A and B are shown apart, each in its own frame.
Chain A
Amino acid sequence: MEGLSRRRLVGLSAALPLLGQVSWAAPAAAAAAPGPAPVRLNYNESPFGPSAAA
Chain B
Amino acid sequence: MHQGVAGCGRYPYPLQYQLIEVFARQQGVDEDQVQVFCGSKLALQNAVHAFTGPRSLVVPEPSYETPAQTAEARGAKVHSVPLNAQQAHDVEAMLAVDPKPGLIYLCNPNNPTGSVTPAADIERLLRKAPADSVVVVDEAYIHFSDVPSCIPLVKTHANLLVLRTFSKLYGMAGARVGLAVGQPPLLEALEKFDGYNVAAEPSLRGALASLEDASLVARRKQDNQQLRDATVARLSRAGWRCTASQANCFMVDVRRPAEAIVAALKEQQVLVGRVWPSWPTWIRVSVGDEAQMRRFEDAFFRVLV
Interface residues, chain A, with chain B CB atoms under 8 Å away: 35-54
Which of B6-14, B52-60, B76-84, B264-272 is near enough to bind chain A?
Answer: B264-272
| Smallest CB separation, A47 vs chain B (Å) | 4
Residues in B neighbouring A51, C-beta threshold 8 A: 170-171, 206, 209-210, 213, 216
List of 6 A-B pairs having minimum Cβ-Cβ separation, nearest first: A46-B171, A54-B206, A54-B209, A41-B286, A47-B289, A53-B209
- Tell whether B296 is near chain A: CB-to-CB under 8 Å: yes
Given the contacts A38-B271, A39-B295, A50-B1, A45 and B167 also touching, CB distance less than 8 Å: yes
- Tell whether B117 is near chain A: CB-to-CB under 8 Å: no
Interchain CB contact (< 8 A) of B271 among A40, A47, A52, A54: A40
Residue of B175, B286, B289, B299 with highest tally of chain A CB at under 10 A: B286
- Tell whether B274 is near chain A: CB-to-CB under 8 Å: yes
Cβ A45 vs Cβ B212 within 8 A = no
Given the contacts A44-B286, A47-B292, A50-B1, A37 and B272 also touching, CB distance less than 8 Å: no
Residues B179-231 near A (CB distance < 8 A): 205-207, 209-210, 212-213, 216, 220, 223
Residues in B neighbouring A47, C-beta threshold 8 A: 287-289, 292
- Tell whether B168 is near chain A: CB-to-CB under 8 Å: yes
21 cross-chain CB contacts under 8 A: A39-B288, A40-B286, A40-B288, A40-B292, A41-B286, A42-B272, A42-B274, A43-B273, A44-B249, A45-B167, A45-B171, A47-B287, A48-B223, A50-B171, A50-B209, A50-B210, A51-B170, A51-B171, A51-B206, A53-B209, A54-B210
Residues in B neighbouring A41, C-beta threshold 8 A: 270-273, 285-288, 292, 296
| Smallest CB separation, A3 vs chain B (Å) | 39
The closest CB in chain B to the CB of A41 belongs to: B286
Main SS class of interface, A: loop
Residue of A44, A45, A53 with highest tally of chain B CB at under 10 A: A44
- Tell whether B159 is near chain A: CB-to-CB under 8 Å: no
Cβ A44 vs Cβ B170 within 8 A = no
Residues in B neighbouring A53, C-beta threshold 8 A: 209-210, 212-213, 216
| Smallest CB separation, B28 vs chain A (Å) | 22
CA distance A4 to B295 in the complex (A): 52
Residues in B neighbouring A36, C-beta threshold 8 A: 269, 295
- Tell whether B43 is near chain A: CB-to-CB under 8 Å: no
- Tell whether B134 is near chain A: CB-to-CB under 8 Å: no
| Smallest CB separation, B111 vs chain A (Å) | 7
